[in-house]
Amino acid sequence: MKIIIESWNEGFQKIALTHLQIDLLKLSLKEAKSNVDKLLDGHSIIIDVNNEQLATTFVKEVKNINVNCRMLL
């Protein structure tokens, strides 16, 4: 399953997004920061996740920090 981080809205919390990627998805700080930088540059981010519950939790959490995100099964 894939998580697609598509865009951000006003009030976007980039540090919170970095921490969510590290804490929930177990990405490295370097990869998480790179994803945030790409998102800020207008690119979509695709992250592979093996756990549907984890992906669902991540999508819910990032919506709270003004990030547009969805899951692709």
DSSP class per residue in 14-57? HHHHHHHHHHHH---HHHHHHHHHHHHTT--EEEE-S-HHHHHH
Q: 40-53 pLDDT, tens per residue? A: 999 999 999 999 99
Task: Return the CATH number of the domain spanning residue range 2-72.
Answer: 3.30.1390.10
Per-residue model confidence (pLDDT) at position 71:
95
The structural domains of the chain, with segments of one domain joined by +, span 2-72
Q: 2-24 pLDDT, tens per residue? A: 999 999 999 999 999 999 999 99
Per-residue model confidence (pLDDT) at position 73:
80
